[in-house]
A and B are shown apart, each in its own frame.
Chain A
């Protein structure tokens, strides 16, 4: 039962353009959502998060949007840079303890 889904395994974007990574979830109990970035041979690195009481959170070039009615969130990267090329994981958890559920990841390639 995949509670967090990333339906696009890969995405290619030109440098300077916008990258949009999408994520859907099925568990309505999730109240906190996170995005992680992972380079090869490294562990995932926390990027940005959003609480379920918000619909948008922005941090520099990264913005996460949450649509609770659609159980959908997205990560926007503007402008995209070659160093952003990595695998991006969407993750979620509900309160109580941090049993984070991850999606399968989207590999982003930013082309110079």
Chain B
């Protein structure tokens, strides 16, 4: 059984560009949540996907969007990147919407 994997592990983008981050959920998990962890802060909830539909969203602007695929893997897309988007982006999968989540190692995004 493989765990949650995220790609890429590190990424550098220029302000104004667009980025796509990917997450493969753990086998048997149908729910994926995305978090942003800025330096010195705890993870902040971006949104959750359950069976390919968005199932809740945190206080992030619409330029943060996502997808979940039939195999329950997921993408996080961020448009018009800003310097403050520099952070560790964490993906977490769970068996269902209200069960403990298992995190991937994260993608470190740097916007310059």
Question: Are A and B genuine complex partners?
Answer: yes
**Which A positions have Cβ atoms within 8 angstroms of B?**
4, 6, 34, 36, 41-46, 49, 89, 91, 95-105
**Which B positions have Cβ atoms within 8 angstroms of A?**
4, 31, 33, 35, 40-45, 48, 50, 55-56, 58, 90, 92, 94, 97-106
Chain A residues with CB under 8 A of B45:
99-101
Task: Decide: A104 and B42 in contact? CB cutoff 8 A.
Answer: yes
Knowing A44-B90, A98-B33, the reply to whether A4 touches B98 (Cβ < 8 A) is: no
Nearest B residue to A87 by beta-carbon distance? B42
Give the distance to chain B from A63, nearest Cβ to Cβ, in Å: 18
> Known pairs A45-B103, A46-B102, A102-B44. 8 more at Cβ < 8 A?
A43-B104, A89-B42, A98-B31, A98-B33, A98-B94, A98-B99, A99-B58, A103-B42
